[in-house]
Amino acid sequence: MKLAIIGGGGFRVPLVYGALLRRRPFDDVVLYDVDPGRLERVAHVLEGQAAEHGDRVPFRTTTDLDDALEGADFVFVAIRVGGLEGRTVDEGVPLGHGVLGQETTGPGGICFALRTIPAMLDLAERVARLAPGAWMVNFTNPAGMVTEALQQVLGDRAIGICDTPSALCRRVAAALGRVPEDLRFDYFGLNHLGWLRAVHDGSGDLLPGLLADDELLASLEEGTLFGAEWLRSLGMVPNEYLYYFYFSADTVDAIGRSARPRGAYLLEQQAAFYDAEPESPPEALRRWRAAKDERDRTYMAEARNGHTPAPLSDDEPGGYEGEAMAVVEAIRGNTGTTLILNAANRSALPFLDERAVVEVPCVVGAAGARPLAVGDVPDHARALIGTIKAVERATIEAAVTGSTALAIKALALHPLVPSVTAAREIFTEYRERLPDLEERFA
């Protein structure tokens, strides 16, 4: 079975390769990237992993996209159009207006999508031509919008994944002293905009007990992030990305007090890894692990007030590579496993139309991912989902058509953008600082 990894020089590719070594679903793995230097650097890390593992899953690298895609059974895509330089602009411009500057939430996510969607649509056309039977597993952010755009070309063969819903479920299970496999998680929303509203074990909902218990909540990442009182007010546990909505002004202040926004920090942190002199595979692996630990430790620092998230090891189950592997195994084995994925709504959330891509538990088998019915959700969540879906759709259409009016509409409709005037100013500045965007929206 052939796997093509698009964005093969990406920093998280060794996580995927680690999962491939452990679970071995593919005998042909091709890493594609536009940047041969990054590809070579990551290939070294992979060789280090294979040596450490004492066994190798064969892989090769290429800068020829068609070569990578031809006949692939699965295509994993994690690309960053415009690189981390683009991310610094996405985040920096709104911050200059006192508005949240974040990679996927708020204006940053809209600008990121405007850059990314055209490239992803080209890629989807190529996949349809060269690997018509392939499943495209998308990790590219903003994953919800990107997956909805991809489905215009590939339909249900494009599936979006994110590590945050399953990570939330695992943490909640741990706080409850249970294993996630024994529980049913009632989670709903859009990518980076979801809530866990119930946890069933067959005899009842365990969430109210968790929400009532200060000590248990203190052991939960989301308890520290949102505070017990706010979680009890909601009666649900929100995805960590909801912090940017519920505590948006606090985030802007915290970033203002920090040395620099996340993208600017990563630009330097990642360059230190990628620009190092060529070294032996074990040394490259050691250096990648150190860079990854540092990246994990500082994740969402602007929301954590000095508190560092629990460390993750690179062979832990889960993570986005664990989700991707679970999708592959569920499709290949036609298992009917339930996974929280980005897929077309059908009627899972009855207040959205059937083509809207949502992030909900899906039953996954040989025919793809079928969302489970969610039904009614609390009013405020429903309203926010509806608003953000409207923003996402205006963004997708703006990306496809190059319409400035639609881009400004998307920005202005976003609840974190305070006015149409601010939306106009932010978009003007984005265009000034991103020549490709200026060209597309000329």
303 near ligand G6P, rule: CB under 6 A: no
CB nearer to ligand G6P: pick between 246 and 299? 299
Nearer to ligand G6P by C-beta: 10 or 26? 10
Please identify the residue of the shown chain whose CB is closest to the bound Mn ion: 162
CB of 7 to ligand G6P, least distance (A): 12
Q: Give the burial string for 67-76 (b: 16+ CB within 10 Å, else e).
A: ebbeebbbbb
- Work out whether strand 28-32 and strand 158-160 pair parallel, antiparallel, or are unpaired: unpaired
Which is closer to ligand G6P, CB of 141 or CB of 147? 141
Q: Angle, to 10 degrees, between the axis of helix 83-96 and the axis of helix 248-257?
A: 110
Q: What does the per-residue mask of binding to ligand G6P show for 89-128, with x meaning CB under 6 A?
A: ----------------------------------------
- Rounded Cα distance between 379 and 332, Å, is 38
- List the beta strands (DSSP E) in 130-171: 135-138, 158-160
In the chain, the amino acid numbered 363 is V
> Judged by CB under 6 A, which of 295, 346, 370, 433 binds ligand G6P?
295
Question: 37, exposed or middle or buried, with CB in 10 Å at 0-12, 13-18, 19+?
Answer: exposed
Out of 49, 61, 105, 164, which residue is the one contacting ligand G6P (CB under 6 A)?
Answer: 164
Nearest 5°: phi and psi at 74?
A: -135, 145
Please list every residue from 384 through 403 that binds Mn ion, using CB under 5 A. Answer: none
Q: What is the 8-class DSSP label of residue 61?
A: E
Binding residue (CB under 6 A) for ligand G6P from 115, 262, 393, 414? 262
Please choose, out of 155-163, 338-346, 370-378, 391-399, the segment that lies near Mn ion by the rule CB under 5 A.
Answer: 155-163
From the list 245, 242, 237, the residue with the least C-alpha distance to 174 is 237
Tell me which residues in 255-314 interact with Mn ion (CB under 5 A). Answer: none
The partner in contact with residue 326, picked from Mn ion, ligand G6P, none with C-beta cut-offs of 5 to 8 angstroms by kind, is none
Closest CA to 341 of 354, 317, 327, 359: 359
Residue 295 touches which of ligand G6P, Mn ion, none (CB < 5 to 8 A by kind)? Answer: ligand G6P
β-pair partners for 60? 30
Peptide bond into 317 cis (omega under 30): no
Q: Is 6 left (phi over 0), alpha (psi -120 to 50) or beta?
A: beta
Q: How far is the CB of 35 from ligand G6P (least distance, A)?
A: 17
Is residue 260 close enough to count as binding ligand G6P by CB under 6 A?
Answer: no
The answer to whether 91 touches 263, Cβ cutoff 8 Å, is: yes
Q: Coil, helix or strand for 359?
A: strand
Q: 33 or 103: whose CB is closer to Mn ion?
A: 103
Residue 77 makes contact with Mn ion by CB under 5 A:
no
Q: DSSP assignment, residue 30?
A: E
Residue 104: CB minimum distance to ligand G6P, A: 6
Q: Closer to Mn ion at the Cβ: 43 or 162? A: 162
141 touching ligand G6P, by CB under 6 A: yes
239 interacts with ligand G6P by CB under 6 A: no
Q: Which stretch in 158-166, 304-312, 331-339, 433-441 sits in contact with ligand G6P by CB under 6 A?
A: 158-166
Asked if residue 163 binds ligand G6P (CB under 6 A), the reply is yes
The site partner of 13 among Mn ion, ligand G6P, none (C-beta below 5 to 8 Å per kind) is none
- For position 162 contacting Mn ion by CB under 5 A, the verdict is yes
Pairing type for strands 2-6 and 337-344 reads: unpaired
> Does 274 participate in binding ligand G6P (rule CB under 6 A)?
no
What is the total count of residues that contact ligand G6P (CB under 6 A)? Answer: 8
**Cβ neighbours around 268 below 10 Å, total:** 10
Beta strand segments in 259-317, E: none
Residue of this chain nearest to ligand G6P (CB atom): 164
Query: Residue 319's closest CA among 24, 17, 86?
Result: 17
With CB under 5 to 8 Å by kind, the binding choice for 286 among Mn ion, ligand G6P, none is: none
Tokens 């920093």 — which residue?
Answer: 11
**Token pair for residue 102?**
């974040």
* Minimal distance, residue 134 CB to Mn ion, in Å: 22
Binding site for ligand G6P (CB under 6 A): 141, 162-164, 262, 266, 295, 299
Binding site for Mn ion (CB under 5 A): 162
